[in-house]
Amino acid sequence: MEQDLERKEIAETDEAWLVVDKDQWTDEQLAELHKWSQGMNNRGFALSNPKFEYWLLLHFEDGAGISSSRECSRRLRCHLPNYDKGVDRRKFTRDRIFSAVRRAAARDSPPCRDWPRNPWRTTVYRLVENILKARAESQPG
């Protein structure tokens, strides 16, 4: 992975992020990913624990009371009935994106320094915050 990223030229103003779900990754593997992200200021590491669908769910609700991966998927399908690893970007409005960021940040309190070790946490919001900030800075105004 690092060799692939090193072959591509990344400008100082660009960022490279690793986005994963906890799934079957070991703490040792996640530590390596986190270590890579700390190597330069324009790298990041975002993790959803236990699965990425939790981040998607936060666009629609607060995600409270989930006790299993199956429950998370069931609740997500209440909002996205045809969800099957593909998403209709039109379902993710600006307001929903801001809500997901707010909800995820509230659950990441105090903010974890590496990755969320407890289930039903995600740091994907950090990447989205960076995208939103860069977008706002690039718009005339």
**Beta strand residue intervals within the chain, DSSP E:** 16-21, 43-49, 121-122
CA–CA separation, 1 vs 54, rounded Å?
25
Residue 106 lies in a domain: yes
Contact 45, 33 (CB under 8 A): yes
In a domain, 87, yes or no: yes
Note the pLDDT tens digit of each residue in 52-109. Answer: 999 999 999 999 999 999 999 999 999 999 888 888 888 999 999 999 999 999 999 9
Residue 55's Cβ-count burial label (10 Å; 0-12, 13-18, 19+) is buried
Question: What is the extent of the structural domain holding 79?
Answer: 2-133
pTM of the model: 0.89
- For residue 124, is pLDDT > 80? yes
* Residue tagged 């994106």 (tokens): 97
Residue 140 lies in a domain: no
Q: Does residue 139 lie within any of the structural domains?
A: no
Domain count, the chain: 1
Instruction: Specify if 110 maps to a domain.
Output: yes
